[in-house]
Every structure is written in structure tokens, then in C-alpha cells.
Amino acid sequence: MSDGASRPVPGPGILEIATYVPGKSKGPAGVRVHKLSSNETPLGPSPAAIKAYGGLSGRLELYPDGSAAALRTALGERYGLNADHIVCGAGSDELLSLIAQAYLGPGDEAVFTRHGFLVYEIAIRTNGAVPVVAEETDHRADVDNILACVTDKTKIVFLANPNNPTGTFVPIEEVRRLHQNLPSSTVLVIDAAYAEYVRRNDYEAGIELVSSADNVIMTRTFSKVFGLAALRLGWAYAPAQIADVLNRIRGPFNVNAAAIAAGTAALGDRAHLEATIEHNDIWLERVSAALRDLGLQVTPSVGNFILVNFPDEVGRRAVDADAFLIERGLILRRLENYHLPNALRMTIGSEEANKALISALAEFLKNG
């Protein structure tokens, strides 16, 4: 029975998924590598989180608390939220997938923006739904364009705020306007993975919007400013009915014990958080200014990374810069998948990494 037609066939949409390509981490042999490709923090996690993680080594045979109660309580206290409305996940990626799984099916539509985070498209297609792309304006999500994409089939709108890989954000008034004009049956997902880094009075992560609506979810992560990407930990704040839905479909032990322990400890270390944000404030500004001085166009960023746009001249394009930088151990993110073929995304790194990057790009542009 080797009839080709009888092979297992995945659900509708799944074979249309382009596999997610993570940031590279390797350079040439013998060269010191600075990985600036995945928006990880150069300061690492809080020492308290590392200690809590280490403290688990004698108890690995025990299942974690499936409700992550200690972590949800700590999050609730920290952000002033009802812990019952918080759902934790193995990274916010898992929560985005669960949201899609819960609210999308074949024939439904979900909207995200042209240069929006690619995990949304994977989550949408996995459930047989149709991804609908709203054009951006100047690398920024455009509320009118998003609203123009909404039909009676639209079940979810995904908004990364700030967005990765562009680094731009949508002011809270605009997010409110987006919400006000969505059907009440459409879920608005605000992915605020970089919220802690944003220093703008007109920005909010979306907590109040979630609290005052039945169809808004905010997702957050411990992977970026908290430096715990390896442990996979994220959380969602959602209205009671949505939190209930996510709790029904998530794995009973979806968050591991190390993540719960380290995440809870990390929340208690405000000084480390502040130091991480301050480092970013200083170097986001300095690196952006230095690259502009070199004649590169840097999209204004409020996150811990920048979108660097290259000239469209052979020898000076993003691909050429990427090859040049890799030789010197500087690993940035190529963005063909994000429809930004002539840009690279650079994570703000350590002082050493940032300086090395600036001088390497100066050399590249001089020779190009």
C-alpha cells in the first residue's frame, strides 16, 4: 500500500506556512560573536532570577504548579491586575497560538500589518484561517488601513505595539480608536513584548483597555527586558471569559517550574529592570545617532532594537552589509521575510558590541 495519495495530510493552511527563521547566532570560527539578532538583553536576567532557577535543581521530578499561581499573584501585585485574568504561557508565542486556536477556524480572517511580527501569520494559517495584511505608513501600523481590512469574517486583529522589527509604536489614543471601531465580536490582541522599554507619554501597553472591554487581550513576555528567553515565559491579561477559554485549551502544565521560579524572582528586582532600561535608553539614542551620521536611515525606535535601512546600491545593500558584519562576528537580523529586503534589524547590545557595530558599518560604507 504505497499509494502516494494515502499519506497523512495536515489541516487546511498548514502547508502554506513559511517556517519561522530565528535570528542567527553563529559567526566565523575564532571570531568573537556579538549576537544582535533576537532582541535579547545584553545585561542578562536579574541575579535573583538566576538564583531561583538554580534552586530548582533538586526538585526536577515534580510537576510545576499548573496554574502558575505564585507568578500570577506576583504579576497581579506588580501591575495592579486581578490574577484571575492572567494566563501564563511558554513564551508569549504560545499564548498567541492559543488565542488563534480558540478564535479562528477555516474561512475566518485575521488582520496584522505589513511588517508585523511573523508569529501571527503562522498562528493564523495553522488554524486554517486567512491572513489579511494591512499596509503600514512609514513603517508604522496605520489604524485606518487596519480598519479598512476588517470584514464580518474578521475574528482577530493582531497589533504588535511597539512592533518588531520596525520599532515603531501606535499611540494609545489611536489604539483606542482602533478598538472603538472594531466589531465587539472581533478580538483585539495587543502584543506589548517591548512595553517596558518605551519612554513615551502617549504610549500605554493596553492594561486599561483590557480592563474596560470584553474583546481585548494584552500579551507580555519575560524574554526581552527580563532576559529569560531561554526559559520561555509570557503572560496574557484578558477579560474573564477569554482567560477562561485560554485556560481550557492550554496544556495543564504549559509553563515549567524553572520559568515560574525565575520569572517570579525577576519581577521583584526593580533595580535590575531599571538598569536594563537605562542602558537601552543611552545606547538606543547613541547607536541611532551614529548610524544616521554615517548616512543610514534609521527608523525611529522605542524598543531595544533598530531598523537600519540601507542604500539601494550594489555593494552597499543590506545583504552586503550583513555579509560584511558576519565576518566581524556581528550578527544582525535579515528581514526578507518581513518584506524589508534592504534593511537589517539590530538589537541594542553591550557597549562593546554597539561600538564594534558602529565602527564596522563606518568601514563598510567607506569601502562600499
Minimum CB distance to ligand PLP smaller for 142 or for 191:
191
Minimum CB distance to ligand PLP smaller for 260 or for 356:
260
Q: Residue 204: phi, psi to the nearest 5?
A: -140, 150
Q: Shortest Cβ distance from residue 8 to ligand PLP (Å)? A: 28
* Binds ligand PLP by CB under 6 A, chosen from 52, 81, 100, 160: 160
**Which parts of 32-51 interact with ligand PLP (CB under 6 A)?**
39
Q: Shortest Cβ distance from residue 226 to ligand PLP (Å)? A: 10
Tell me, what DSSP letter sits at residue 300?
-
Q: Which residues contact 67 (CB under 8 A, 6 or more apart)?
A: none
**Which parts of 74-133 interact with ligand PLP (CB under 6 A)?**
91-93, 117
285 bridge partner residues = none
Q: In this structure, which amino acid lies at residue 364?
A: F
CA separation for the pair 143, 30 (Å, rounded): 48
**Which parts of 313-352 interact with ligand PLP (CB under 6 A)?**
none
Residues near ligand PLP (CB under 6 A), total: 14
Tell me: does residue 223 bind ligand PLP (CB under 6 A): yes
Q: Shortest Cβ distance from residue 156 to ligand PLP (Å)? A: 15
x/- string (CB under 6 A) for ligand PLP, residues 164-203?
Answer: x--------------------------x-x----------
Q: What is the CA radius of gyration of the chain?
A: 21
CA separation for the pair 303, 117 (Å, rounded): 14
Measure CA 265 to chain center. 22
Per DSSP, the three-state class of 262 is helix
Q: Which of 207, 205, 214, 165 is nearest to 185 (CA)?
A: 214
Q: Under the rule (CB under 6 A), what is the footprint of ligand PLP?
A: 39, 91-93, 117, 160, 164, 191, 193, 221, 223-224, 229, 234
